[in-house]
């Protein structure tokens, strides 16, 4: 069974179906901030060290292994139907949902089509910057107007150290607080002794 191919001209690996036998990953990063992203938008981010500088959570005992990740959820406000811009985490039936992932040098683009809506999600870390950039483009290709809502999701780690984050979640919840402000920015406060 074929899951993708190398596009020599674009210098990308193109994954043509999302149900790969295991997660196929790409590295995004600058000299200080790094990120691992899979063909279904799973993975994690870190500052300086993948073991001691985790920023986005990765649970090694998760099934599927690449969750949580960097997700956009979409909802049809009329029907209540919902899906994700990457095949996972919602996992709509593949006879209704199409997905293509393009892993390039330091970027990943995931395109999907479901219920007359196409999405294109681009992930990268800008040169010499210490953050991830996510861009979602949504296009209505149906013949009717649609009312949609879009929501982003990622799970921040509450402890820089990978092991401590895995075994001490209750303590992490005590020392870290996140708050969404009126200007829609997330502020994270860490109480570290």
pLDDT tens, residue order, the chain (193 aa): 699 999 999 999 999 999 988 888 899 988 888 888 999 998 878 778 766 666 666 655 555 566 677 889 999 999 999 999 999 999 899 999 999 999 999 999 999 999 999 999 999 988 888 888 889 999 999 999 999 999 887 776 666 666 666 666 666 566 555 666 666 655 555 455 4
The pLDDT of residue 120 is 97
State how far Cα 67 lies from the chain centre.
9
Domains observed in the chain: 4-157 (2.70.98.40)
- pTM for the whole thing? 0.82
The pLDDT of residue 193 is 46
The pLDDT of residue 142 is 93
List b or e across 91-114, with b for residues whose CB sees 16 or more CB atoms inside 10 angstroms. ebeeeebbbbbbbbebbbbbbbeb
The pLDDT of residue 67 is 64
The pLDDT of residue 127 is 87
- Copy the structure tokens of residue 169: 């979640």
- Copy the structure tokens of residue 40: 């279904």
> If we measure between CA atoms, which residue out of 167, 114, 166 comes closest to residue 141?
114
């Amino acid at each position: 069974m074929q899951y993708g191919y190398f596009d020599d001209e674009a210098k990308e690996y193109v994954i043509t179906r999302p149900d790969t036998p295991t997660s196929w990953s790409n590295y995004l990063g600058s000299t200080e901030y790094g990120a691992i992203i899979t063909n279904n938008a799973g993975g994690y981010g870190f500052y300086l060290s993948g073991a001691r500088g985790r920023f986005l959570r990765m649970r090694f005992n998760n099934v599927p292994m690449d969750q949580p990740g960097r997700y956009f959820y979409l909802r049809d406000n009329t029907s209540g139907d919902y899906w994700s811009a990457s095949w996972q985490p919602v996992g709509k039936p593949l006879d209704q949902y199409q997905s293509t992932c393009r892993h390039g040098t330091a970027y990943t683009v995931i395109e999907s089509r479901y219920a007359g809506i196409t999405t294109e999600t681009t992930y990268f870390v800008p040169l010499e910057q210490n953050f991830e950039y996510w861009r979602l483009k949504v296009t209505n290709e149906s013949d009717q107007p649609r009312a949609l809502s879009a929501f982003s999701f990622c799970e921040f780690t509450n402890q820089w150290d990978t092991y401590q984050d895995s075994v001490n979640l209750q303590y992490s919840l005590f020392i870290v607080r996140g708050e969404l402000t009126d200007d829609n920015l997330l502020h994270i406060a860490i109480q570290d002794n």
